[in-house]
Structure 1
Amino acid sequence: MNRSLYSKLAKVCRKESPADCIFKNASIFDAYTATFYPGDVAIKQGHIAGIGRDFLGTNVIDCRGKSLVPAFIDAHCHPEATMVSPHSLLSTAVLYGTTTFIVNPKEAVLVSGKAGLDYLLSQSEKCPANVFFMLPYLSLRASTEEQEARFDGRDIFSYLRNPRILGLEEIMDTKGVIHSNPVLWKTREGTESKFPGGHNAFLSEEREDSSLIRLQTDELPKDFSYTLNEVHSGMHIHIKEGAIARNLDTLIEGILSEKIDSRSFSFCADDKTIDAILREGHINHSVKKAIALGLPMGKAYQMATINAAECYHLPLLGAIAPGKQADLLLLSDPKEVLVEAVYHKGKRIEKTGKPTSLHYPKELRKTLHFSAVEEEDFLLPILKRNTMVLGIQENAVETSHMQVNFKRCGNFDPSRFSSYRKVASLSRHKGKQKMTLSICHGYTIRQGAIASSLSRDCDGILVIGDSDRDMCLAVNELLKMQGGIALVSRGTVVKRLPLPVMGMITENGEGTLETELREMKEKLHEMGISLNMDPLMPLRYLSSPTLPEIRITPEGVYIIKDGSSRLCKG
C-alpha cells in the first residue's frame, strides 16, 4: 500500500472524508476467529477503509438480515480442463463467489510451451478477478515422454519475475525429491523466494522427504491417515471437488472425527469442467457441502478464504479487515451459501450475458501434427497367455494393473468381449509417429470408438473402441478438427466436439459447450458406458504418467508406484 492510498483510507476511517460505498448493518464474517459480528464496512478505492459505524458517504448498501464474507479463493485449478477460454471460466466462476484463482497452467505448457502460458496470462488479465499462477514442474513427465513444446528451468526463472507468478507447483518427481535430483534441486535453489507446491503423488507413508525440500501443498492424499502425516510435516492440503477426483467427504469427515484444527486446509476446484460448474457451482459448492457434513460454518468459510490466502502469502486477500482488498460476497443465507452479490475491488460484478470476442494466437490453433492413421495400425496380436490390461475404475482416477489370460492367440478382437476394449495412445508431434496399443477393462463402449485430445499430464491422443475401423476414423476425425472429442459408431461420426485451441479449448461459449457435452455423454451411455460413470473422464486420466497404477502413453505402458514409473513389457 502506498502512502497516498493509506492517507485516503485513514481519512475515511477517521470519518473525515466520504467512503465510495458503505455496507451497512451487515453480519460480518471475521476470518481470523471464524465468527460473525454486526457492523458497517466502508470501502475506498477498492480497499476496506474501516469497520464500525457512522462512516461518511451516500452510496449505502443495506445489508440488514444478510451476511458479508470475503470472496472465495480457488486454491488450485487447471483452467484448460474446463474446455472454455480463461475469460469464460473466470466470468462464470466469479458469479458463484470466487474472485481469486491459483492457476496451474500445466496442460497449456505441455502442449504449447511458453505460447500457452503467455495466452493464459494475457487472457486472465482482462477478467474481474485476481489470477495468480504456479508454474508446472514437468520432470517426471519428461522422464517418460517426449515433449515438443519445451519448458525448462531457464523459462521458469524468466517467468518468476512476474508478480502474478507465485512459484512452482505439482512437483510430482517424488523419486527426484527422495534422491536429491540435481536438476530439481537447482530449480528449487533458484526459486527459493517463491512458493514450492506439491504434490506427493502417492509416496508410501513412511517417506517424508518432500517436507525436507519444503513442498508445501498437496491435493492428492490417498486417505486421511496419509493426509494427517502431511499436515504433521507442515504441508497445506487442498480439498478438491474436481471433475472426478473428489476428496471433500473423506477429508472433512477425518477432520471432524480426529478433532484437528482445519487451518491447514483449503478448497480447490482442480480440473472441474464447465458443465459441472454450471450444474453445481464452484467453491460455494464445497463450502455448502462441508457445512452439511457437520463442519462448523465459520471453519468452512475459513477454508474458502483466509486459509488459502495465508498458504500462498496473499496479504491483501481472504479477510474483511482495514487495508484489505474489497473482494466481498453478500449472502442471503450463509448456511446455504446463497450468493446475492459479488464485489471485486469494491465494485459489484454483473452478469453481462454478452459473448466476448477473443483472439487466439495462430500458434495455438494447429497443435496436432501426426499423420493420418490406417485401420491396420490398430492390429494388436496377443502373443502371451497372460496379457497386461489397464483396469478402469468407475469415477476414480486410479487404475488397476490386471493380468488376463486370453486363451486364443492371433489379433485381439474386442467385439468378442463384454468388458474388454482396445486402447491406443498416439503422439501429436511432428516427425516419427509414436503409438502404443493395449487392452483396457471397464470402459464398455459397443459398436464404436471415441478419440480425445484432452489427456491429463500427457499431450497425446487417446482412443478406445471395439472396432479397428471406428478407432481409425475417430482419430482421423480428431486430426481434421485439430483437437477435441470424436465419437464414431459403425463407420459413421455420430458426435464431434471441436476444441481447436491447443486441442483443449472451444471457440464457443460455455452454454454451447455444456449442451454439446451433455449430448456426447448421453450418446456414450446409449453405446454401453455405465450410467454410473462420467464417460469422458477416463479419456482424461488414462494417459497421465503421474497417477497410479498403470497408464498408457505414446511411449508405452507404464507402471506407476511410489512416485516412480517403469516401462511394462506386458
Structure 2
Amino acid sequence: MIKGNLVNVFTEEIYPVEIEVKNGIITCLREIDGDYSGYILPGFIDSHIHIESSMLTPSRFAEAVVPHGTTAVVADPHEIANVMGVEGINYMMQDAATTPLQVFFTAPSCVPATPFETSGAILGPEEIDALMEDELVVALGEMMNFPGVIGKDPEVLEKIKIAHHHRKPVDGHAPLLSGRKLCDYIRAGISTDHECTQLTEAQEKKRLGMKIMIREGSSAHNLEELVSVGGEFLVSDDRHPEDLLDGHLDETLRKAVHLGMDPMDALKMVTLNPANHYHLNCGALKPGFSADMILVDDLEDFKVDKVWIKGKLVARNGKPLFQVNPLPLKSTFRVKSKKASDFEVHSSREEEKVRVIEVIEGQLLTDESEAVLGVVDSHLQADPERDILKIAVVERYGHDNVSNAFIHGFGLKKGAIASSVAHDSHNIVVIGTTGSDMAEAANMLSKNNGGIVAVSDGACYSLKLPIAGLMSTMSAGDVSSQLNQLHGVVRDMGCELTSPFMTMSFMALLVIPKLKISDKGLFDVEGFQFVDVVKK
C-alpha cells in the first residue's frame, strides 16, 4: 500500500490517497484523510528517444534515467537497426529486459534512411510486419523519407499500411515541410512530428491535426521556441550521457514550467498523452494499469525522491536500487586502413570555389555557404584560419567508400576528430585540418571497434563504443567522464561548440536540410540529390 498526495492527470485534482497494488498492477485507489508531503505522479514516459544516442546500452540507460523519474520510454532503435538490422533490435530488447524500465519500441521505418548512403542492413515490409507482431513494438518509427511518402513510393506506403493493419500509429519526421506537401504527408496516415524548430511550423502542423512532440535534447533545443504551441508530448530524441546525469524528463519539466507552461499540461505531455497515443498500460494511476509512479517534492522543480515500477521501489534519492550487467555484442567493423590521400579533394587548378556545409549551433539543420580554397600538389587545402575544414565519411561495412567535402563552424585549428556515431547509417565521420590527422583518427576508431576519437599534436584520445559502434557497456558516469575529457581536448583544438561530437554525428543525416554528406558524396537534402563539392 502506497499513500500520499495523488496528482490526478484525468481530473487535474490533487488529494490524498492510498494506492493498492497486486502483482505490479494497481487494483484500487481510495481517497483518505491525512497530511502528506510531496506529490505522487505517474512515472514519466519519454515518447520519442533513440537510446543509442546516449552512448549507453539500454540497461545502462535505465540505470541513469530511472532515478530521474523515467519509468517508460518509446525507443526508436533505427540507429542500431541501420548497423545490424533485426539482430540489433533484438539486442536492444534483450538488454532492456534485464532492467525495471519499461522499454517499448517502434519498428524502424527507414533502414536505410535513404538510398543515397551505405548502411549495414535493410528492413523491408516483410521485416516491418514481423516486428509489428511483437507486443513491445507500439508504432512504426519516424517516417524520415518524406519525399517517398509524398511521391507515393510503393514500399514506403506499404510499411505505413502494415502499421495501420496492426492498429499502431505512424510517427513522423518532416522538418520544414509545409503547404500541399505537408498535407500529402499527413494524408498518408502519419500522426506525430518531433522535428519542428519554428513556432509557425509547429502551428501549421498542429492545425492540420498532427500531434507535436516538443524536443529538448542535447543537440536540438526546441522547447523555448515551441513552449506556447500547445504540443502533446515532451521528448528527448537524442540525449548525451553527461546530460542524463543532470536529468531527463524531470529537467525538461522544470524548464517547461519555468518558461510558463502550466505544470499539469506539462505533466500530461510525459504521462497520459503518450500512454493514450501508444496504447500503453502506464502513464496514469488507475486500476488495471502498471503501478509506475514517482514521489516528487513539488510541481515546479520536480525533484524525484522515490520511483516505483510495477509496484516495486526501484530508485531513491537519485540512486537506482537495481544493478545492471550489459550484454556483449560482436564487432560490426569491416574497414581497411586509411591513409592521408584518402582524404583529399583533387583539382588541376590553382584555386577552386567549393560548397561548404554550414553548421548551425543547437540545431540539426545545416545551411550551405561557399569558399574559395587554394590548391597545393593538386589537392584542395583546408583553411583553419577561416574555419574551413575538411569533412569525410568513411563507409564501414566492407565496401571501402570514402567521400570528402568541406565544413564551417567547428573551429578546429589543428588535428582531427572522428566518430562512428553518424546518423543514420553510422559510417565513420571525420573532420580535420589535414588528411594525415584524419587518417590517424579513422584508423584508431576502427581499431577500437567504434567510438569517438580526437587526434591533436600527435596524441590520440578516445572513447570506445564497442556495441555496434554506438554504445558503451560502461556506466553513464564513466562514459561522461571520458566524453568530457574529449570535449576538453576538442576545445583546446579550437572548437567552441557545446556538443561537438553530437553535432558532428548529424552531418551525415541526409533527411535534415540543407547540405549533408554520406559515404557516396555531398548531398543537397532539399533537392534530394548529390551535388559537386567544387562549384562550376
The verdict on a shared fold, with TM-score over 0.5 as the criterion, is: yes
Aligned residue for 2:194?
219
Q: 1:416 to 1:513 in 2, by over 3 A?
A: closer
Is the 8 Å Cα contact of residues 469 and 491 (structure 1) preserved in structure 2? Answer: no
Aligned residue for 1:323?
288
Aligned residue for 2:171?
197
Aligned residue for 2:87?
115
Is the 8 Å Cα contact of residues 140 and 173 (structure 1) preserved in structure 2? Answer: no
Aligned residue for 1:452?
419
Query: In terms of mean alpha carbon deviation, does 190-199 or 30-39 score higher?
Result: 30-39
Aligned residue for 2:393?
425
Is the 8 Å Cα contact of residues 241 and 477 (structure 2) preserved in structure 1? Answer: no
Is the 8 Å Cα contact of residues 66 and 333 (structure 1) preserved in structure 2? Answer: yes
Aligned match for 2:463, one of 497, 509, 513: 497
In structure 2, what is the Cα distance between the partners aligned to 1:323 and 1:456? 39
Aligned residue for 1:33?
11
Aligned match for 1:50, one of 28, 33, 40: 28
In structure 2, what is the Cα distance between the partners aligned to 1:463 and 1:361? 25
Question: Does 2:354 correspond to 1:391?
Answer: no
Q: 1:489 to 1:323 in 2, by over 3 A?
A: same
In structure 2, what is the Cα distance between the partners aligned to 1:269 and 1:427? 28
Structure 2 unaligned spans of 5+: none
Shift of 1:106: 0.6
**Which amino acid counterpart does residue 14 of structure 2 have in structure 1?**
F
Shift of 1:304: 1.5
**Cα-to-partner distance string for 1:326-345 (whole Å, 9 max, x where unaligned):** 11111122221011111111
**Which amino acid counterpart does residue 424 of structure 1 have in structure 2?**
A
State the SS of the aligned residue for 1:95: helix
Aligned residue for 1:507?
473
Question: Does 2:336 correspond to 1:371?
Answer: yes
The correspondence of residues 82-97 of structure 1 with structure 2, limited to 5 A, is 82-97=54-69
Question: Does 2:248 correspond to 1:282?
Answer: yes
Is the 8 Å Cα contact of residues 134 and 167 (structure 1) preserved in structure 2? Answer: yes
**Cα-to-partner distance string for 1:382-415 (whole Å, 9 max, x where unaligned):** 4563211111122221111112233657422225
**Which amino acid counterpart does residue 461 of structure 1 have in structure 2?**
I
Query: In terms of mean alpha carbon deviation, does 188-197 or 405-414 score higher?
Result: 405-414
**Cα-to-partner distance string for 1:480-501 (whole Å, 9 max, x where unaligned):** 11111111123332x1111111
In structure 2, what is the Cα distance between the partners aligned to 1:217 and 1:313? 15
Q: 1:143 to 1:124 in 2, by over 3 A?
A: same
Is the 8 Å Cα contact of residues 143 and 173 (structure 2) preserved in structure 1? Answer: yes
**Cα-to-partner distance string for 1:22-77 (whole Å, 9 max, x where unaligned):** 31xx221111233323333232332222222469xxxxxx8712211111110101
In structure 1, what is the Cα distance between the partners aligned to 2:19 and 2:320? 27
Aligned match for 2:204, one of 222, 229, 237: 229
State the SS of the aligned residue for 1:197: strand
Shift of 1:462: 0.7
Aligned residue for 2:517?
552
Aligned residue for 2:223?
248
State the SS of the aligned residue for 1:246: coil
With normalisation by structure 2, the TM-score equals 0.93
**Which amino acid counterpart does residue 224 of structure 1 have in structure 2?**
L
* Superposition RMSD in Å: 2.0
Aligned residue for 2:234?
267
Q: 1:421 to 1:109 in 2, by over 3 A?
A: same
State the SS of the aligned residue for 2:495: coil
Question: Does 2:431 correspond to 1:464?
Answer: yes
Aligned match for 2:494, one of 522, 528, 532: 528
Is the 8 Å Cα contact of residues 34 and 302 (structure 1) preserved in structure 2? Answer: no
Aligned residue for 2:136?
164
Shift of 1:80: 0.7
Runs of 4+ in 1 over 6 A off after TM superposition: none
In structure 1, what is the Cα distance between the partners aligned to 2:47 and 2:271? 9
In structure 2, what is the Cα distance between the partners aligned to 1:353 and 1:376? 52
Is the 8 Å Cα contact of residues 449 and 466 (structure 1) preserved in structure 2? Answer: yes
The correspondence of residues 179-190 of structure 1 with structure 2, limited to 5 A, is 179-190=151-162
With normalisation by structure 1, the TM-score equals 0.88
Is the 8 Å Cα contact of residues 140 and 172 (structure 1) preserved in structure 2? Answer: no
Aligned match for 2:312, one of 347, 350, 355: 347
Is the 8 Å Cα contact of residues 78 and 111 (structure 2) preserved in structure 1? Answer: no
Q: 1:219 to 1:63 in 2, by over 3 A?
A: farther
**Which amino acid counterpart does residue 29 of structure 1 have in structure 2?**
V
Shift of 1:225: 1.5
Aligned residue for 1:300?
266
Is the 8 Å Cα contact of residues 87 and 124 (structure 1) preserved in structure 2? Answer: yes
Structure 1 unaligned spans of 5+: 1-20, 56-61, 256-261
- Largest Rg, 1 or 2: 1
Q: 1:416 to 1:266 in 2, by over 3 A?
A: closer
In structure 2, what is the Cα distance between the partners aligned to 1:30 and 1:348? 21
**Cα-to-partner distance string for 1:104-149 (whole Å, 9 max, x where unaligned):** 0011000111111110011111111211111111167232123232
Shift of 1:230: 1.5
Q: 1:45 to 1:63 in 2, by over 3 A?
A: farther
Is the 8 Å Cα contact of residues 49 and 73 (structure 2) preserved in structure 1? Answer: yes
In structure 2, what is the Cα distance between the partners aligned to 1:406 and 1:519? 33
In structure 2, what is the Cα distance between the partners aligned to 1:63 and 1:100? 30
Aligned residue for 1:22?
2
Aligned residue for 1:479?
446
Shift of 1:240: 1.3
Percent identical pairs in the alignment equals: 26
State the SS of the aligned residue for 2:113: helix
In structure 1, what is the Cα distance between the partners aligned to 2:384 and 2:78? 39
In structure 1, what is the Cα distance between the partners aligned to 2:408 and 2:329? 39
Shift of 1:547: 0.6
Is the 8 Å Cα contact of residues 195 and 312 (structure 1) preserved in structure 2? Answer: yes
State the SS of the aligned residue for 2:486: helix
In structure 2, what is the Cα distance between the partners aligned to 1:108 and 1:127? 19
Q: 1:537 to 1:416 in 2, by over 3 A?
A: closer
**Cα-to-partner distance string for 1:515-550 (whole Å, 9 max, x where unaligned):** 1011110111011011x5322222211111111100
State the SS of the aligned residue for 1:536: helix
Is the 8 Å Cα contact of residues 525 and 535 (structure 1) preserved in structure 2? Answer: no
Aligned residues: 524
Query: In terms of mean alpha carbon deviation, does 46-55 or 549-558 score higher?
Result: 46-55
In structure 1, what is the Cα distance between the partners aligned to 2:532 and 2:430? 21
Shift of 1:324: 2.2
Shift of 1:82: 0.8
Is the 8 Å Cα contact of residues 176 and 201 (structure 2) preserved in structure 1? Answer: no
Query: In terms of mean alpha carbon deviation, does 196-205 or 435-444 score higher?
Result: 196-205
**Cα-to-partner distance string for 1:399-445 (whole Å, 9 max, x where unaligned):** 111122336574222256331111111100113x2111111111111
